[in-house]
């Protein structure tokens, strides 16, 4: 059997999309995008408004600070300077005559008495010559006495007596000269003091001027310093002087202004001065640098605050005083009020306030850099550092 051929399927005619439908879809897409943008803008605007409202109603939390009171002190006016410690008497011992060191009778750094023998130079040659010279002097004296008796009896002439007398005097002079040489071979301490490190050894040949050791009298000690000529109106002999040295930061010495130089140095227009300071323990050594203060006779009342309470600025220094008030939220709080002040002398941790504060006012003593006028604060004086007029730094 033969299959019959299938009948052909009917063809579907193609119809292109209509132009109006495509435009409609574009319009709908644009509207959707606009709606999204409007929604996002509305949300962002609401957030911004909320942030503005929060900022307007935000209250800065109070800052934690410490406080101190402006105190009234009696300060002595002081003229400060940097000086140098000197010995009352100081020399470098040396030999006056050449010789060989035969004996050393002192220890390095020991205290010695006036007249104590320190070094003996070999003097055997001079001692031998002295023996002969003394014999010659003795013979010259005997001869002079004998000639004087003979002259009294008329057995001699006056010229012979004059000759033996001159001989006796000459012999005595030789003895005195040799004794002087022997004395110069012994080097003694010219005054009481502390001797330094010796610079000679046994058997060493020393020449005149060669240093043997340094001898310093440091009880009491002298301090030399300079002050400007303007200070002459405030200082005079007899005023108290306070001394500090970096070697002993926790110690002070008090002495007296003993010398004011009667001339002003032309190069610096300064006046040299000296003070005498007790130094019984001998800790002040010649050559030390010292901080010197010449104290006035009377004290002056001042108002002072801790230096950390001052906010230093080019346009003017200020402090923050504390007073009860209301913060930005209307609640009762402790407020910091900025107040400009004039400052004077500074001593230790304190600074003088010449105007702007009165004794008894409470000021912020630390944390002023983070405050503004009217800021609310909370006191926490447990963390307040100690404030001292004469602080003693501790070296690590």
Q: Provide CB contacts within 8 A for 183, sequence distance 6+.
A: none
pLDDT score of 393: 57
Q: Provide CB contacts within 8 A for 10, sequence distance 6+.
A: none
Q: What angle do CA 371, 308, 296 make, to 5 degrees?
A: 145
pLDDT score of 199: 92
Q: What angle do CA 137, 139, 140 make, to 5 degrees?
A: 60
Q: What angle do CA 309, 315, 320 make, to 5 degrees?
A: 25
pLDDT score of 11: 55
Which of these, 81, 85, 101, 83, lies nearest to 93 by C-alpha position?
101
Q: HSE on the CB side for 172, CA within 13 Å?
A: 10
**CA 113 – CA 121 distance, rounded (Å):** 20
Please report, in tens digits, the pLDDT of each residue of the chain (396 residues total).
444 455 555 554 545 555 667 777 888 888 888 888 888 888 888 888 777 766 655 556 778 888 888 888 888 778 889 999 999 898 999 999 999 999 999 999 888 999 999 999 998 888 888 888 889 888 888 888 888 888 777 777 788 888 888 988 998 999 999 988 899 999 999 999 899 999 999 999 999 988 999 999 988 999 999 999 988 888 889 999 999 998 888 789 999 999 999 999 999 899 999 999 999 888 999 999 999 989 887 778 889 999 988 999 888 899 999 888 776 667 788 888 999 999 988 887 889 999 989 888 999 988 888 888 888 888 887 767 777 666 655 554
pLDDT score of 22: 76
- The full set of domains in the chain, from first to last, is 63-75+301-383 (2.40.420.20), 79-86+217-298 (2.40.30.170), 96-121+186-209 (2.40.50.100), 123-184 (1.10.287)
**CA 362 – CA 381 distance, rounded (Å):** 12
pLDDT score of 367: 83
């Amino acid at each position: 059997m033969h299959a019959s051929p299938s009948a052909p399927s009917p063809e579907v005619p193609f119809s292109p999309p209509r132009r109006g439908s495509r435009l409609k879809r574009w319009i709908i897409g644009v509207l959707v995008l606009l709606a999204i943008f409007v929604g996002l803008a509305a949300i962002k605007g609401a957030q911004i408004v909320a942030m503005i409202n929060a900022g307007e109603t935000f209250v800065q939390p109070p800052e934690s600070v410490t406080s101190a009171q402006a105190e009234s002190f009696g300060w002595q006016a002081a003229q400060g300077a940097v000086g140098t410690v000197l010995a009352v008497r100081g020399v470098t011992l040396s030999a006056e005559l050449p010789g060989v060191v035969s004996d050393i009778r002192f220890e390095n750094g020991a205290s010695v008495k006036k007249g104590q023998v320190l070094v003996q130079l070999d003097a055997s040659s001079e001692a031998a010559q002295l023996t002969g010279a003394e014999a010659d002097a003795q013979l010259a004296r005997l001869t002079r006495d004998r000639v004087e008796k003979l002259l009294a009896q008329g057995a001699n002439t006056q010229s012979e007596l004059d000759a033996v007398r001159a001989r006796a005097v000459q012999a005595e002079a030789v003895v005195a000269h040799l004794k002087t040489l022997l004395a110069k071979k012994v080097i003694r301490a010219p005054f009481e003091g502390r001797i330094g490190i010796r610079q000679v050894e046994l058997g060493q040949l020393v020449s005149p001027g060669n240093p043997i050791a340094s001898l310093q009298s440091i009880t009491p000690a002298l301090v030399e310093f300079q002050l400007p000529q303007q200070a002459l109106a405030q200082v005079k002999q007899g005023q108290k002087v306070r001394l500090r040295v970096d070697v002993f930061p926790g110690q002070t010495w008090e002495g007296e202004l003993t010398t004011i130089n009667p001339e002003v140095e032309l190069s610096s227009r300064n006046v040299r001065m000296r003070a005498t300071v007790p130094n019984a323990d001998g800790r002040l050594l010649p050559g030390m640098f010292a901080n010197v203060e010449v104290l006035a006779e009377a004290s002056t009342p001042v108002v002072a605050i801790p230096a950390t309470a001052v906010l230093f600025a080019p346009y003017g220094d200020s402090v923050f005083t504390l007073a009860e008030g209301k913060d930005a939220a209307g609640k009762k709080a402790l407020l910091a009020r900025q107040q400009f002040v004039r400052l004077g002398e500074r001593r230790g941790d304190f600074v003088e306030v010449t105007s702007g504060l009165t004794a008894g006012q409470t000021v912020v003593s630390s944390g002023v850099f983070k405050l503004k006028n009217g800021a609310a604060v909370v006191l926490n004086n447990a963390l307040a550092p100690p404030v001292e007029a004469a602080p003693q730094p501790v070296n690590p």
